[in-house]
Amino acid sequence: MSTTEQSADATTTDGSWDVVVVGAGTGGCYASATIANAGYDVVVLERKTEEEAGHIACGDALKGADGFPDAIPKSKIEPAFTNTDVDHGRFEIPQEDTVLDIPVPGELAVIDRDEYGKRLIEGTTEAGTEIHYDTVVTDVIQAEDGRVTGVEAIRKGEPLTYEAAVVVDGAGSLSVLQDMIDFSESTFDTNVDFSHFSSAYREVVTVEEPVEWDDALVFKPTERSAGYLWYFPRTETEINVGLGFQMTEEPMKLVEGLKRDLENRPEFEGATVKDKLGAALPTRRPYDSATHPGYVAVGDAAAHVNPTTGGGIAGAAYAGEYAGEQIIEGLERGEIDEDVLWPYNERVMDHYGGRYAALDVYNILTIGADIDDLTGLLATIPGDKLSEALYSGSTSMGLKFKLEALIKSRGHWDTIWNMYKTKQRADEILAHYEDYPSSPEGLGDWQRERDELMEKVYETTGAEPKY
Ligand SMILES: Cc1cc2nc3c(=O)[nH]c(=O)nc-3n(C[C@H](O)[C@H](O)[C@H](O)COP(=O)(O)OP(=O)(O)OC[C@H]3O[C@@H](n4cnc5c(N)ncnc54)[C@H](O)[C@@H]3O)c2cc1C
């Protein structure tokens, strides 16, 4: 932490802005476009060069693009959707010699991530945002009362100060900004540990012949630990292949693990690698609160990621929009305190945060349970029925299916019972998030009740406490 006065002596002041956004990723671009569309002065600070900006480690699968926020018109990003024929997940379970095809409802696309990233930046620029590339944010400026009032940065060796009414943290997973802020006077969630993250690596590979599964997102459990491999077809001959594992597990050699699997797949014979990149991603519940006076975190910086799939593009886009709208309200009122920002937390929890927190319960189950038992059980369930169960809730499953599944899954009944109890715990968590408080004052009581429910989750799953 530093004060405005201290930093201004030592550095060049790069102006005073309504809003400074750190990071030109999905969250930063949607937040800045929303605010710039309303006529405010917004600058995005991006550590990468103009050429590299938008180049992000990703599996390139996009779910729910049909309903994306319109701060950046969909027509702007659509040309980056290189495969819109994907309509199901394909789960390969080699231990059981089974392949499960599971239909996925809603719009699904595999994208050229680099092109998408560039188009987002173009979209926010067209909305009126200024982008400063090669600009690494190195410190956060906090006033005596704790309010964030700007950031310190370095561009090509030159120290800079940016002052603003509000700073948006869109700096991604493990955002360094949060290490620099004293959150003791706000509700901002500081219960964050490295074990809440996954490490992931991906390559974009070109194959000689079209793959047969160009309409599917292919998943496969890794040989060991609770990780998975993916094969996502950007086109029928350009595949995003990658793997990831939860950091609670013993570290995996990601590059070697991927290489081994590729060598065993005939369709990748003679394939060439176009691009390689790795990164960490949050696979935990969303932050209980991502607000602080003068500061708000969006996207990966607030863990707005589906913790079971690692999908975070959609969450970051919506978070950007919701945060942007509250910031506009604050700028109009002339006060960016937690009260005005709070509906941002509420909207995130209402839209997807509660669901992600409930899904996190299944992540916790994989820490406590035997993975072979779980995959063995999965292999006994027909794909269309599994899809029904996943997307409509188990209560909608027909009695006939329940009986069939029960007979087929003999030998897995202990695991089924465990899953059934876990689902009850997940439903309790989901219901509790529906009562997310309507003001910062209610957060403490709500957290205490949620933590009591989490105790039951650890008891049921046998996992070590995650939070
Ligand atoms: C290997 C991998 C595979 C994934 N696969 C998928 C997938 O298939 N589908 C999906 O939906 N999601 C996927 N995700 C998650 C998804 O990529 C993220 O959730 C999403 O990109 C989050 O967007 P964001 O804007 O929050 O952060 P980011 O996209 O990470 O953007 C953060 C930006 O901030 C900049 N920055 C960071 N620190 C500073 C600083 N100090 N100063 C200035 N700039 C800074 C970075 O350079 C970057 O441009 C995957 C993630 C990984 C790692």
Give the pLDDT confidence of 136-162 residue by residue, as tens digits.
Answer: 999 999 999 999 999 999 999 999 999
Q: pLDDT at residue 285 above 90?
A: yes
Q: Are 302 and 175 in contact (CB under 8 A)?
A: no
Comparing 26-30, 97-101, 203-207, 271-275, the range with the smallest average pLDDT is: 97-101
Nearest ligand 1 atom, CA 301: 26
Nearest C-alpha to atom 52 of ligand 1 is from which residue?
58
Rounded to an integer, what distance in angstroms lies between the CA atom of residue 449 and that of residue 173?
28
Nearest CA to ligand 1 atom 27: 172
Order of strands across the sheet that contains 216-221: 98-103, 88-93, 216-221, 227-233, 238-246, 197-206, 272-282
Best mutation site among 47, 234, 240, 255 for ligand 1, i.e. most ligand atoms within 8 A of its Cβ?
A: 47
Q: Which residues line ligand 1 (CB under 6 A)?
A: 22-28, 45-48, 56-62, 136-137, 170-172, 176, 200, 202, 242, 279, 281, 299-301, 305, 310-313, 316
Q: What span, in angstroms and rounded, lies between the C-alpha atoms of 342 and 330? A: 11
- On whether the pTM is more than 0.85, the answer is yes
Strands 227-233 and 88-93: unpaired
- What ligand 1 atom has the least distance to the C-alpha of 117? 29
Would you say 331 and 57 are in contact if contact means Cβ atoms under 8 Å apart? no
| Ligand 1 site-directed mutation target among 21, 49, 56, 258, most atoms within 8 Å of CB | 56
Residue 382 has φ and ψ, to the nearest 5°, of -65, 140
Compute the CA torsion angle 73, 77, 83, 86 (nearest 10 deg). -40
Q: Please tell me the distance between residue 254's alpha carbon and the centre of ligand 1 in angstroms.
A: 19
Q: Give yes or no for residue 163 having a pLDDT over 90.
A: yes
Residue 115 pLDDT greater than 80, yes or no: yes
Q: What is the pLDDT of residue 66?
A: 77
Query: CA–CA separation, 353 vs 350, rounded Å?
Result: 6
Mean pLDDT of 416-425: 83
Q: How does the average pLDDT of the chain come out, rounded? A: 88
Provide the terminal-to-terminal Cα distance of the chain, rounded to the nearest Å: 26
Residue 37 DSSP SS3 = helix
Q: What is the pLDDT of residue 215?
A: 95
The amino acid that residue 271 corresponds to is: A
Find the mean pLDDT for residues 341-356.
97
> Which two tokens mark 435?
């009562």
Most distant CA atoms of the chain, gap in Å: 75
Q: Decide if 421 contacts 364 (C-beta within 8 A).
A: no
Which are the contacts of 67, defined by CB distance < 8 A and separation ≥ 6?
A: none
The per-residue pLDDT for 402 is 56
